[in-house]
Amino acid sequence: MKSICLLIFLLTLSSCNKKYTGEVRFKSCIIKYDVLDKKKEKEIYGNNMIGNQWRFESAKKELALCLCEKYLQNHDKEIKKKILEIYYDNLEYYPKENRFKPFPFDSILKNRKEIFDYRILAD
């Protein structure tokens, strides 16, 4: 009986601390990020609800950085297309005023660390 109670306790404890992981990938670039369940996200962020969306968008920008490095090694047209797709994507937490203006791809590669910076500074 004690072992059954202990087993139930351990299963309950592990389910409370269960971590969810999201993933964005393209070709050999794989970016994993933590995902909060909706209840935990609401507890932490309240009505702002920036948690999971911000994490997803940050992962996409990090994916773009990885893809830029891969493109510099091998000028793959599919990788270039994916980089541009992420560049022109309408991200909620990383808005760009000039998102819809044409921007030379070489300039995107050259300025990739600034363009795809996935860190957000908060006051």
Q: How far apart are CA 116 and CA 111, in angstroms?
A: 8
Chain segment 74-120, per-residue pLDDT in tens: 999 999 999 999 998 888 777 666 555 678 999 999 999 999 988 76
The better pLDDT of the pair 12, 33 is held by 33
Q: How far apart are CA 19 and CA 8, in angstroms?
A: 19
pLDDT of residue 58: 93
- CA–chain centroid gap for 105, Å, is 22
Domain ranges (residues) in the chain = 15-115
pLDDT of residue 21: 86
Which pair of tokens denotes residue 14? 């592990």
Mean pLDDT of 1-13: 43
Task: Characterize the bridge pairing of strands 20-26 and 29-35.
Answer: antiparallel
pLDDT of residue 8: 45
Specify the 3-state DSSP secondary structure of 22.
Answer: strand
pLDDT of residue 41: 56
The better pLDDT of the pair 97, 11 is held by 97
pLDDT of residue 97: 60
Chain segment 59-77, per-residue pLDDT in tens: 999 999 999 999 999 999 9
